[in-house]
Amino acid sequence: MSGRRRQAEPIACVYAIQHQYGRCYIGVTQDLRTRWQNHLSRLRHGKHFVSDLQADWDRDGPDAFDLLVLDLEATIEAERYWLEMTPVLLRYNPYPYNPLRGA
């Protein structure tokens, strides 16, 4: 055994960055680990493209957020479903940003 750690397989999914006070960002990715690191980097540097998400992060800090896997079907259709159903199923409202409808 060489002592090298095996790289985990990328997780393709629809995911949510859920804020404890009732809003969430929903996205789709082919590699959740890389996408999450990208979100964290932007948030930590104050440069996230969803200004309301950035404002909540700045005010409440990282402990106010959870990352959830919503669906292992990583398609635009699955993302659209979760954008529409999240307020009903999770009782969370998506942040007012949606790349499917244009910002």
Enter the pTM of the model.
Answer: 0.84
Domains of the chain from N-terminus onward: 13-94 (3.40.1440.10)
pLDDT at 53: 95
Residue 25 has pLDDT above 90, yes or no: yes
Pairwise CA distance, residues 97 & 33, whole Å: 22
Percent of the chain scoring above 70 in pLDDT = 88
Q: Cα angle at 53 between 100 and 103, to 5 degrees? A: 25
